[in-house]
Amino acid sequence: MDKNYMTRESHQKLQEKLINLREKELPEISKEKLEAAEQGDLSENAGYEYAKQKLEMIQNKIRELSADLENVQFIEDLPIKGIIISVGTIVTFHDMDSDKEVIYSILGPGDAEFGNDVISYKSPLARGMITKKVGDLVEINVPEGKRTLKVLNIDTYKKKE
């Protein structure tokens, strides 16, 4: 089974979501479904159908979060040397197209923040960077076209204090 890489912070957030779903939302929607079922004919009971669908969505989310929390490897514990780009690195690039410096942190899916240049190691962008070294050129296809980035620096992820 593949490891699920994540920071301790995102692990904690996922656990809190899972607890909320199991202990609060699941019982609430189960109660709603039961109350709707008590109203009679289920074939024309929109409230029952809505509650049933919502219950299925919550159960699916619980299964998804439970799977995400299995086989976890904390990024903070990885023996990263900062020699090659990998999960748990912060990489400084020179964007050859815009002539600007850009920095990407490559973390887990739960850590990804689109506007803050924190990307998931599973993303196409990160997969195009992984295993590159300082001085390498990285060509990545993005919706806007091809981007060419030159690796300037690779550092290890450090927990925000």
Q: What is the pLDDT of residues 18-73, one digit of tens each?
A: 999 999 999 998 888 888 777 766 666 677 788 889 999 999 999 999 998 998 99
Domains of the chain: 4-74 (1.10.287.180), 79-156 (3.10.50.30)
86-102 per-position pLDDT tens digit: 999 999 999 998 999 99
Residue 62 has phi, psi (to 5 degrees) of -60, -45
- Which conformational region is residue 31 in: left (phi greater than 0), alpha (psi within -120 to 50 degrees), or beta? alpha
Query: Tens of pLDDT along 99-133?
Result: 999 999 999 988 888 778 899 999 888 998 999 99
Model confidence, pTM? 0.77
pLDDT tens digits, one per residue of 17-29: 999 999 999 999 8
Give the whole-angstrom CA distance, residue 83 versus residue 136. 12
pLDDT for residue 116: 82
Identity (one letter) of the amino acid at 139? E
